Amino acid sequence: MAATAQDPSAPLRGPEKKDEDRDDETEYSPFYAIEKGAVLQEARCFNDPHIDSRRCQQVITKLLYLLTQGETLTKKEASEVFFSVTKLYQSKDANLRRMVYLVIKDVCPGSDEVIIITSSLMKDMNSKTDLYRSNAIRVLCSITDSQLLGQIERYLKQAIVDKAPVVASAVLVSALHLLGNNAEIVKRWTNEIQEAVNSKSNMVQFHGVALLHALRAGDRLAVSKLVTSLTQKNVRSSLAQCLLVRYVAQVISESTNVGAGPRPFYSWLESCLRHKGEMVIMEAARAIVNMPEVTQRELQPAVTVLQLFLTSSKPTLRFAAVRTLNKVAMTHPTAVQSCNLDLEALISDTNRTIATLAITTLLKTGNESSVERLLKQIGSFMSDIADDFKIVVVEAIRTLCLKFPQKYRALMNFLSNVLREDGGFEYKRAIVDSILILIKDIPDAKEPGLAHLCEFIEDCEFTYLSTQILHVLGDEGPKTKDPSRYIRFIYNRIILENATVRAAAVSSLAKFGALVEDLRERVKVLLSRALHDNDDEVRDRATLHLAELNGLAGGPAAINVQWNIPAKNLEKSLRAYLQNGTDAPFDLSCVPKALPQAPPKEQKKKNSSAPAKPPPVAASEYADTLQRIPQLSSLGEVFKSAEPLLLTEEETEYSIALVVHIFEAHVLLQFNCSNTVAEQVLENVNVVVDLSEAEGFEEEVTVPLARMEYGSLGQCYVLLKREASSMTLGKLGACMQFTVKEIDPSTGEAEEEGYEDEYQLEDIDIGAANYIKATPLGNWRRMWEDTSPDSEVADDYGLGVREGLQDAVDAVVSILGMCPCDGTDAVPPNARSHTVLLSGTFVGDVQALARVSFGIDMHRNVAMKLVTRSESPDVSAAIHQIIQS
């Protein structure tokens, strides 16, 4: 435990080295580098004749830490720890007893071992100490099965109406966890739960309301009736009242009579705005603000209450109010204008987060005349807030500039000033993106914006931003009144920057030479100086662009032509050019733009054991191919096409690859069939799918393959119907059936008579990953904040030993099939932890987000935490199902 004591055998170190070590030590937690084996050895102290309560508590804490970090115990280890822990019951130390309760729940003993501890827990349930009774109930409900739960049901029902609030709450919370596997038992406690709702204890009433709602959560009508009855009662607990407000908001959002009359429960929500509890008032105001298609009249009472909270002495209330008003200002800015005076007073708030939200709200609701004054106030505290809030301010300024385009000069100057200040990559990228949007949408802002970007790249430390700006300069600079003013800034990058930026600067400079004839000769001189660069990419670009500007390889206009030559064709042409030994320059126009296809006669001459593999079908060609099949032409747009999956072993007589296409209400199985036996031809090829283990699918159409010759590739299809926009999962059996006809060696033609045969294929697994496609996002973090936390699902996973974090990241991204955002798929060198931000779209156009945190220890064991959010909780859980499967 003496972590700071110096080892006398350690070598003496200087003061600087000692300070560095002390700084490094502060980064580690108290549990750094603890190992399961060592902790299990320490756990033997549980068996000591004289129990050291303090030491036992420390060991249990280490055990709990390991378990929460994803460490698992084998059955033998769990049994040994469990039996040792049970001996601690003889201790009278209350703190140790509480730790024992915790570790019993997390060790997860087997059904045989539970019986051993049950008697002790039952004894604690009847104890006179309320703390022991409540904890014993929690543990019993966590470790017992349905059979044993039925035996203690009578005790649990009595505990719900116990006079001690801590005991009653323990049963109610345990019942919430029991609903998953023992819902029928919990439903029998309805009368007792109703009594708990009328309890004088605020916490008991809160848990009772939550449990009553959980029991009816699957029935919309039952939830509506429950909400109706609770709103008519006097719910004293502020926590329960907040919970009830949320349930009312849910009922309102699910109602279908929006605009057809008064909303259900709106008058009750409005009455909550006059509640004596500030927490309830705030919750009711948020519920009104978030109502679908809320009107200005409905918003007014909530905005009035929030305006009062803006002047509260409590920072939490001020923050909650200004944050809610900020959200209202996005859709109903005029409703918030009455709060502008109070919001301006918050600009000088000592809490910079509140000040940031106030200023961004004012930017959304302010008028044109107040723009300069607001910008001056913003500049006074921009350096005092975190980058996340700076990004919010920048986005608000961008919105304001698009709203008042005539104020672009003041707003553009502000953005350029903050661009020169210190800040991280995300912050600087937000500013650059804002300037680029203003350049695109406001013609008068183009030249000032380009000038500001040129000044920024003179001292830009981010390669990505430099290359992005250079690309824009190459596209927009030649179209300005004085293109020559940008040449100096671009050429400086060729001299001063790294290879990636130098290459981008060469391409940007070449566009000026191609589009501005007066500058062409001077640009050639500058490009010629890059011919001796120490990076081959820079040299190659300079050589290519000089050749283009000199009239070779298509002329100056070729610089702006999109590259459409296949790399394989270019390589083949270059090899032929080098082999010929000619002195004539290489001509790109002679390179064929279509991929060559091997003629059928050449394919027949090849050995039957190694036929030519037909080229794979590009993903973009699937839609066109399917539209040409009459039975499939009416399916609509393909949501996602999976990568081909081989259903046969390699080097077998038949090669069958599966491509799964997902449509709105169908799943199409495309079988790419290839015959590798030269002595036979297959006719009437069809795949029979077994749906006995896949409920929810119904076979609708089968499209057979008429003829499958040696070395050729053909497709047969099976169309399965499912519920529209649903995520139907299942495992399908598959068998290929066909007619075999032998080839006559003398004529090379197939015989007239054949025989029926079949070939068993691998099972087909339609998983959740088939229903999600990668979708890039411009602002992942903003989308994450806007997605309801109620849909969040989090879990920890162990990925075992990996080569490194990059290997683990690549594997998880590939399995999930989602799109990495903000460049987070690249792991920094020697990183011990990393977070990847992913986005995707599930069938039915449901947006899904995932935040995946990785960590690696000294033994290269990788642990992962996956947190998902979506518009649908089922989709959030489905992403975890992909990992678990």
Query: For position 564, what pLDDT does the model report?
Result: 64
Half-sphere exposure of 598 (CA within 13 A, CB side): 15
> pLDDT (tens digit, 9 = 90+) per residue, 145-186?
777 777 788 888 888 888 888 989 998 988 888 887 778 888
Q: Which one is predicted more confidently, 803 or 536?
A: 536
DSSP secondary structure string, 409-437?
HHHHHHHHHHHTS---HHHHHHHHHHHHH
Q: Which one is predicted more confidently, 483 or 591?
A: 483
Cβ(870)–Cβ(848) under 8 Å? yes
Query: For position 619, what pLDDT does the model report?
Result: 44
Domain spanning 460-559, CATH class? mainly alpha
User: Can you count the helices (H) and strands (E) in the chain?
Assistant: 37, 17
Q: pLDDT-derived band of residue 36, with 50, 70 and 90 as boundaries?
A: confident
Task: Please provide the average confidence, as pLDDT, over all residues in the chain.
Answer: 81
Cβ(670)–Cβ(644) under 8 Å? no
> pLDDT (tens digit, 9 = 90+) per residue, 359-379?
888 877 766 666 777 777 776
Query: For position 710, what pLDDT does the model report?
Result: 81
Among 245-249, 430-434, 773-777, which is the least confidently predicted range? 773-777
Q: How far apart are CA 255 and CA 60, in angstroms?
A: 50
Interval 23-41 mean pLDDT: 70
Query: For position 324, what pLDDT does the model report?
Result: 92
> Considering only CA atoms, which of 386, 392, 356 is closest in space to residue 374?
356
Query: For position 20, what pLDDT does the model report?
Result: 47
Q: How far apart are CA 356 and CA 6, in angstroms?
A: 47
Query: For position 368, what pLDDT does the model report?
Result: 66
Query: For position 112, what pLDDT does the model report?
Result: 64
Query: For position 594, what pLDDT does the model report?
Result: 62
Interval 249-271 mean pLDDT: 75
- Whether the predicted pLDDT of 611 surpasses 70: no
- Whether the predicted pLDDT of 58 surpasses 80: yes
> Considering only CA atoms, which of 336, 340, 424 is closest in space to residue 377?
340
Q: pTM for this structure?
A: 0.51
Q: How far apart are CA 883 and CA 253, in angstroms?
A: 32
Q: How far apart are CA 309 and CA 277, in angstroms?
A: 13
Interval 755-763 mean pLDDT: 88
CA distances from 212 to 181, 255, 287, 323 (A): 17, 21, 21, 31
- Whether the predicted pLDDT of 106 surpasses 60: yes
Cβ(467)–Cβ(500) under 8 Å? yes
Query: For position 7, what pLDDT does the model report?
Result: 42
Looking at mean pLDDT, say which of 261-270, 501-510, 706-715, 783-792 comes out highest: 501-510
Interval 686-696 mean pLDDT: 86
Homologous superfamily (CATH) for 770-884: TATA-Binding Protein (3.30.310.10)
Interval 454-462 mean pLDDT: 87
Q: pLDDT-derived band of residue 597, with 50, 70 and 90 as boundaries?
A: very low
Which ranges of 238-351 would DSSP assign to H, the alpha helix?
238-254, 266-272, 278-289, 296-309, 315-331, 333-336, 340-345
Q: pLDDT-derived band of residue 28, with 50, 70 and 90 as boundaries?
A: low
Strand partners, 833: 855
Domain with CATH 3.30.310.10 in the chain: 770-884
Interval 476-488 mean pLDDT: 89
Looking at mean pLDDT, say which of 305-319, 355-369, 400-414 comes out highest: 305-319
CA distances from 176 to 142, 185, 208, 301, 729 (A): 11, 12, 10, 35, 28
CATH topology of domain 622-766: Immunoglobulin-like (2.60.40)
Q: What's the N-to-C CA distance of the chain in angstroms?
A: 42
Interval 34-48 mean pLDDT: 85
Helix orientation angle between 94-107 and 130-143, rounded to the nearest 10 degrees:
10
Interval 531-554 mean pLDDT: 83
Q: How far apart are CA 395 and CA 417, in angstroms?
A: 15
- Whether the predicted pLDDT of 14 surpasses 50: no
Helix (H, G, I), strand (E, B) or coil at 291: coil
Residue 677 Cα to chain centre, angstroms: 46
Q: pLDDT-derived band of residue 556, with 50, 70 and 90 as boundaries?
A: low
Domain with CATH 1.25.10.10 in the chain: 460-559
Query: For position 29, what pLDDT does the model report?
Result: 64
Residues whose CB is less than 8 angstroms from the CB of residue 343 and which lie 6 or more positions away in sequence, other chains included: 310, 322, 325, 358, 361, 362, 365
Query: For position 321, what pLDDT does the model report?
Result: 92
Place of tokens 């459409």: 564
> pLDDT (tens digit, 9 = 90+) per residue, 75-105?
888 888 888 888 887 788 888 888 888 888 7
Query: For position 280, what pLDDT does the model report?
Result: 92
> Considering only CA atoms, which of 298, 243, 234, 245 is closest in space to residue 268?
245
> pLDDT (tens digit, 9 = 90+) per residue, 176-230?
888 877 788 888 888 888 888 888 888 999 999 999 888 888 788 888 888 888 8
> pLDDT (tens digit, 9 = 90+) per residue, 652-661?
788 888 999 8
